[in-house]
Amino acid sequence: MAKIICVLYDDPVDGMPKVYARDDLPKIEGYADGQTLPTPKGIDFKPGELLGSVSGELGLRKYLTSLGHELVVTSSKDGADSVLDRELHDAEIVISQPFWPAYMTAERIAKAPKLKLIVTAGIGSDHTDLQAASERNITVAEVTFCNSISVAEHVVMMILGLVRNYIPSYQWVVKGGWNIADCVARSYDVEGMHVGTVAAGRIGLAVLRRLKPFDMHLHYFDRHRLPESVEKELNLHWHPTVEDMVKVCDVVTINCPLHPETENLFNANLLSKMKRGAYLVNTARGKIVDRDAIVKALETGQLAGYAGDVWFPQPAPQDHPWRTMPHHGMTPHISGTSLSAQTRYAAGTREILECYFEGRPIRDEYLIVDKGTLAGIGAKSYSKGNATGGSEDAARFKAR
């Protein structure tokens, strides 16, 4: 029987919800590109429950234990004394979410001789050393598209929040004030602004579709150009390079995967090519931008605002400069783990496990690494190499 380690974020500080804000979820029939939603043979949870924290267990315990497998669920993932490190020696499967990632470095993979499958409950598998996984013939899979729209909605929220100066305005209310001039001194309309996305895949294209009704000018850069019909439908302007796009945009949103080619893409040099007073939104991965260059750009006014839902490492240390830099709209990595999204990625994780244990092929759009090479969606979205360097710094985080 197999040993499965499932790394999830901590439960709410007041315990798991006894009552939820809503009684049910809207029914989603399918994804925009025709891909079907996860299709496991069964689920052992109620849609809309908190599944992504430790007590939620992604709804997997009943299924796995009924087959005689051992399931270890923990939030302890960083440092040599973590539960993850202690349990890796005989683990066959490791599951984690991008929001609280189990960084599967080459060193960790070397300590897990029985490891055969690494699953991302969500999208984005950069927290795994894909090169090391390939060399060990370990399958890497994720639940592609399960939370792409969740993230796209978060991007639109962040853009509006930054441009309209929402967070400082809200804080004046909390303080008991009525400081209208302070609120609007940095508030603008998005109408007529030029907005561009770095990558126009599932998330980037969904962002553009949602911004079109705001009468913004839409731009994109992607190494895979969209069909002409889509460009005409949305009146999109394609740019051959990132540099060409950012110099004309008032708002830039990053929606590309993290891999060696995109790591540190938004460095001081690229930020200097952006329009002064532009806004940058990053719900992709923290390592795509230069941490300290972002801080400096906000301090000098080169950027008018930065909103990010992603950090590096995760969780971010308490002294991470993004917590205190000016004009930011940072959130902990929550964009893709709404209760709606959790229902889909928990079901998708169950589907992947059913396929694995029953000897059936994992659907191609879920595969990142298979049979020693990039495969499925991984072959389109990633490049060979490793982007986990520096992840050991996550051990510095101390929950209050």
* Known active-site residue 224: no
- Using the 8-state DSSP alphabet, how is residue 282 labeled? E
The verdict on 155 and 304 lying in the same domain is yes
175 and 268 together in one domain = yes
Q: What is the C-alpha separation between 287 and 341, in angstroms, rounded?
A: 24
Q: Looking at the structure, do residues 216 and 129 belong to the same domain, yes or no? A: no
CATH number at residue 8: 3.40.50.720
On whether both 186 and 202 belong to a single domain, the answer is yes
Choice among 147, 255, 282, 302 that is catalytic = 147
Q: What angle do CA 160, 161, 162 make, to 5 degrees?
A: 95
Residue 24 lies in a domain: yes
Distance of CA 33 to the CA centre of its chain: 20
Confirm if 84 and 102 have CB atoms less than 8 A apart. Answer: yes
Residues 302, 274: Cα–Cα separation, whole Å: 8
- Within a domain: 330: no
Percent of the chain with pLDDT over 70: 99
Shared domain for 120 and 181, answered yes or no, is no
Q: What is the pLDDT of residue 383?
A: 85
Alpha helices in the chain (DSSP H): 61-66, 83-87, 106-110, 130-135, 148-163, 166-174, 180-184, 202-211, 228-234, 242-246, 268-273, 291-300, 339-358, 376-381
If asked whether residues 193 and 312 sit together in one domain, one would say: yes
Query: Is 328 part of any domain?
Result: no
- Residue 398's pLDDT band, with cuts at 50, 70 and 90, is low
Per-residue pLDDT band for 400 (boundaries 50, 70, 90) equals very low
Is 305 a domain residue?
yes
186-230 pLDDT, tens digit per residue, is 999 999 999 999 999 999 999 999 999 999 999 999 999 999 999
The verdict on residue 329 lying in a domain is no
Catalytic residue among 314, 328, 344, 363: 314
Which residues, listed in sequence order, are joined to residue 305 by a DSSP beta bridge?
Answer: 279
Instruction: Say if CB 103 and CB 313 are below 8 A apart.
Output: yes
Catalytic residue among 154, 259, 285, 328: 285
Q: Decide if 147 is catalytic.
A: yes
The number of domains in the chain is: 2
Same domain, 230 and 371: no
Hey, which residues does 22 pair with through a beta bridge? none
d(CA 45, CA 40): 12
pLDDT tens, residue by residue, 254-285: 999 999 999 999 999 999 999 999 999 999 99
Asked if 317 and 342 sit in the same domain, the reply is no
Report the predicted TM-score, pTM, of the whole model to 2 decimal places: 0.96
**Residue ranges making up the domain that contains 303:** 148-323
209 is catalytic: no
pLDDT tens-place string over residues 5-55: 999 999 999 999 999 999 999 999 999 999 999 999 999 999 999 999 999
Query: Residue 317: inside a domain, yes or no?
Result: yes
H-assigned helices in 324-390: 339-358, 376-381
Q: In this model, does residue 399 exceed pLDDT 90?
A: no
Residues 85 and 165 in one domain: no
The residues pairing with 198 across neighbouring beta strands, listed in sequence order, are 221, 254
Tell me: do 164 and 243 sit in the same domain. yes
320 is catalytic: no
**Residues 353, 265 share a domain:** no
